Structures are given as structure tokens and as C-alpha cells.
A and B are shown apart, each in its own frame.
Chain A
């Protein structure tokens, strides 16, 4: 994912350890399709802010010239015995159709199905 177009000042402001307010936590919960009950809200708010407070120390590091580590395989050293072959990121397979899972087995675990489709509550109200 590419970096967003924020200025360094905006990024720094975002990471300052000003506590996150409850409305923002509830908004984030909405994004994550989580419903937080009232008795959970205060505890979640407190915990989140405690952890973000600790995370703020990452700002001590100057990472302007440091590339983000997006692919673990890309940084690995190879073992001498395999003639120096090292994975450099994704290894792709041929785009060929192969059998997948048996449909009946998969639908057997579905909460509600007609055998072919997964059935869910109405999405669009007429």
C-alpha cells in the first residue's frame, strides 16, 4: 500500500500521544464491524490509549531513509547449500484452473444455505 499524501508535520501530529477520544474509538469499532457494549467502552478506551502511549516511542527513531519491510521473504539470506537461491518476494504459480474444495463439504459448515449459495438477511430493502 502506498504512503498517503500527508506532510511530515501531519504525520507527527497524528502520532503524538494525545489520548484518543471515545467517539473516535466508537467510529473505529464501526469500521471494524464491532459493536461495543456500554460496559466495554470505557475499558477499551483506557486500554487502547495505554497501548498507543507506548507505541508513541517509535517517533524517537529517524526513519526517513528507511524502507518499510513489506515482504519478509525479500530480506532473507540464503543457505549456502542451495547454490545461493534466495526468495525475493512473491513466487507465483501458473494461472491454471485446478480442482478446489468439494462444494458439499464446504456448504455443510454454512449457517444457512440452499446448497449452492450462502443465505443472509436482506441487503436491500424495497
Chain B
């Protein structure tokens, strides 16, 4: 048995990159949790200056967690894989999720020095499973954006091409995994903010069903759309993490009481006989030809694995972006009303009345995109417009959901591109917010319907940029989505 290395002697390219290999390396004594964390911090120091994925590093808490794992490894308590399934695994947390002892800025100036007094349920669950939490990750401000260019702390650069965006809003979370600065990270997805960055950065990103994972401790953007989910290198790791994160939570009134199956165990079950739906509406104008080709190749691979492919129709797809931007901004205008300088975060110092304190604080603290969305959301809820916009959008949401419920009576999963193009250049779309919004067309539908999905790498463009395939599944049927994604992943090998 190799002697435990107390200093970081793991070259960063040799560091284990999956949950099982990291855990195994610690349990077998090949390395220690402290050395593994150190090696990841070394990679962060070397790579992050050009990527800007990290906003804060929680090295003290991480080292303490790693020490605890090393003590347990010595006693043999980690021999059973079920005990602390994430023992020693270095994980990063998107900065819209609260973690005690570290700042939570939500990528905004309005929370620049905010230190939350509690852990989000998802953060607490990762810790309880033995994870070593490295720090907080950059994101679009209040999770509003598709490129991570809306952060008050600078944009994130795509590790696969530094002049390109990593996607958003969880750009930091996706980039950290892609650049091997963490084994896995947590992100959030309200309109595609896990799946699209996963696609742009060439990693796996999972969108759990609404209510599958607790939102307690997630700084809310749109409460009927927000989800928390993992970024990983492999589908197996996404399955393991979902098993840790899923479950009901008394602190989240919308969290579901569905049983949590063993997602990782079901992964290898053959996909033969599964019916895969291909919706025409997701393969129409605006889809980059190389993305189309990569997803069609994925469909071929699934057919070769014994799946049957079926055309399905999701006729209300073209109304999805409009529906989303009415509902999400309306909910955001309500959720962001709490940032007023009273209880936490920034307070404008030059105000001589309460009302001017509110306005100056919010003017100084919020960026342009956030202001834009609050204004739109307030407008669609205001007297005289509520029925025409907000209530109408809620009705269209029903129609969009019915499209999926109907499709899932004929197929087990739906295959689409994750995004219409590979990663675009930094600054390319910042002048045209509507154009940026329209690029969310393939992802917002799942958030509106409450269903689950995943983005899995399925090839590269001729410029070497990653392309992701999206697999969507019924409510609480992550098991099928993961199984199909695993088959896609296996076919790439």
C-alpha cells in the first residue's frame, strides 16, 4: 500500500476526475483527502486567472472537511461505498446557493459582502455525504443570463476556447469542471442555466424534475422554474450526485415526496426497446448545421443500441421564450424586492429617507440585465396588464406542458440539441437582449413544464467547440434520462 502523501504531490493532470476514482484513491491510501484538495487548489491557482470561474475559495472549511475524511479513512469506516459516497470529493458551489462561512453574492454587487448564516439544503447534503467544498463559483447576476457576461465580478471564459463564453447563468460551475478545477459542481437552471453551459463547455449537466431537489438556500430568481443540479465529467457522477441531492425537504414547500431510486445502479440497464422522440420544432430554422449533424449522429447511435426513433410534435414550442420571459421576470420582480438595503447586503450611504435608500441601493447594486428583467416583470404584473400578459402566459404554460404530457404517452424520452449553436464569442450578443433570449428556445420548455433533462457531450464543431445533446424525460423519470445519456456517452468511446 502506498504511503499516505501529506503534501500535494499529485500533478494536476493525474488527479482523479470522477467521484468513484477520487473516493477510491483516498480509501485505498493512494492519496489523502487533504492532498487531493490541495492538488485541486493548485489547479485553480494555475488556471483560474484566465477563466475567472471562482469568486471565493473556502480553503479553511475544505481542509477541515478533508482532515475529517482522512481520519475516517484510517479507521476503515469508508470501506463500505454507501457510507459517505462523496468522501473527499472536491466540489464547487454556484454563488446563488448559500454556504455558511463563505460569501454569497449571487454574482451581484448588492450582496457583495453578504455572509449567509446557514447552509442550503443541497450544500448540507453534499457535506453530510463527505464532499470537500472548495468554494463559490461565478455566475450571471441573480442567475439572469445565458453567457456569464452579466456577473458584477467579470465574465467567465470558456476553458475550451478562452475568447468564448462558457454559457450561463452557471458559467463558472461548468467551466470549473471543464478545466479540472473541481470533480463536480452545483449549478442552477431556471431557463437552461445548467444544460446550456454544459453543452458549451463539453461537460454533463443535469436538470432534475421540479421539486426533486430542495430549493432551500437557493437565492430565488423564479420560484416556479428554479432547479438545483450537478455538473460532472460523466453521466455516472451526475447519477451519484442526484442520489445525494434528491429528496423531500420540510424547508421547501414545493419539494416532492417521491421516493428516491438508486439512480447509479440503474445506469447500465440496456436502452434497447426505449422509444426516443425527435420533435421537428427543435430542428428547424436557426439550428447550426454542425449541431444538427452531431445530434442526428447521436440519434443514429441510439438506434444502433436498439432504441426506436419516433417523430413527435410539441406544437407550442415557438411560444416558449415569450411565455418564459413573462413568467420568469414577473417572479423575479417579486423575489428581488427583498434587496432593499434593510437587512443584508449593500445599503446606499447617501440616502436621507427610507424610500430614497431603497432606490439608491437598488440602483447602485443591480446590473443592467437585472434592472431590465425587474422592469419587465413589474410591468406584466401591473394593473391593466396582468390578464393580458401574466395570466395569458400561465395559460400558455399549461399548453406547453400538455404538449410534453401528450408526447410522453408515445415515447420514453425526447432527444434535441441543447443549444442552437456552439459557444459564441464574448461580447457577441451583449447589445441585443432579445437575440440572447431567443437562443434559450430549446431549454426553457423543460423549465416551464416541470420535467427533467440532461445535456451530454455528443461531439465537437469543426472549430473544436463542444456540442451537447439534450435528453428530456417525464416528471420524476430521471432514471430513464440518465440511462439514455449513459448510452450516448458510451457510444462516444
Which residues does A use to contact B, with CB under 8 Å? 1, 3-4, 6, 10-12, 14-15, 20, 25, 28-29, 31-37, 40, 43-44, 47-48, 50-52, 54-55, 57-61, 63, 66-70, 72-73, 75-79, 81-82, 85, 87, 90-93, 101-102, 105-106, 108-112, 118, 120-123
Contact = CB atoms under 8 A, between A and B. Distances in A.
Contacts of A101: 117-118
26 contacts: A1-B386, A6-B387, A14-B387, A25-B379, A33-B362, A40-B371, A44-B372, A47-B434, A48-B372, A54-B321, A57-B318, A60-B319, A61-B399, A66-B399, A68-B395, A72-B211, A72-B224, A72-B254, A73-B450, A75-B398, A77-B475, A77-B476, A101-B118, A109-B345, A120-B354, A121-B354
Contact of A20 (B257, B379, B395): B379
B114 interface: yes
Interface string B304-330: 000000000000101101110110000
A63 B396 contact: yes
Interface string B335-379: 001001111111100011111111110110010100110111011
Contacts of B392: 11, 15, 58-59, 63
A105 B114 CA distance: 12
How extensive is the interface on chain B, given as a class? Answer: 35 or more
B417 to A, nearest CB: 21
Interface of B: 114-118, 209-211, 224, 250, 253-254, 256-259, 261, 316, 318-319, 321-323, 325-326, 333, 337, 340-347, 351-360, 362-363, 366, 368, 371-372, 374-376, 378-380, 382-389, 391-399, 401, 405, 408, 433-434, 437-438, 450, 474-477
Contact of B476 (A76, A106, A110, A122): A76
B388 A12 contact: yes
A76 B257 contact: no
Contacts of A67: 395, 398
Contacts of A55: 322, 325-326, 380, 389, 393
Name, among B250, B359, B474, the residue most crowded by chain A CB atoms within 10 Å (CB to CB).
B359
B330 to A, nearest CB: 11
Name, among A11, A60, A106, A108, the residue most crowded by chain B CB atoms within 10 Å (CB to CB).
A11
Given A14-B385, A47-B372, A35 B450 contact: no
Nearest to B450: A72
B209 A61 contact: no
A87 B354 CA distance: 42
B475 to A, nearest CB: 4
A111 B341 contact: yes
A70 B322 contact: no
B362 A35 contact: yes
Contacts of A105: 117
Given A35-B359, A48-B376, A79-B259, A118 B253 contact: no
A82 B259 contact: yes
Contacts of A122: 353-354
Contact of A51 (B346, B358, B434): B434
Given A33-B362, A77-B405, A109 B114 contact: yes
A35 B351 contact: no
Given A50-B434, A81-B261, A73 B394 contact: no
B211 A34 contact: no
Given A33-B337, A73-B254, 16 more contacts: A35-B359, A36-B371, A40-B371, A57-B322, A63-B395, A66-B399, A68-B391, A69-B398, A69-B401, A76-B256, A79-B477, A90-B253, A109-B114, A109-B343, A111-B343, A120-B342
Contacts of B388: 11-12, 14-15
Nearest to A5: B387
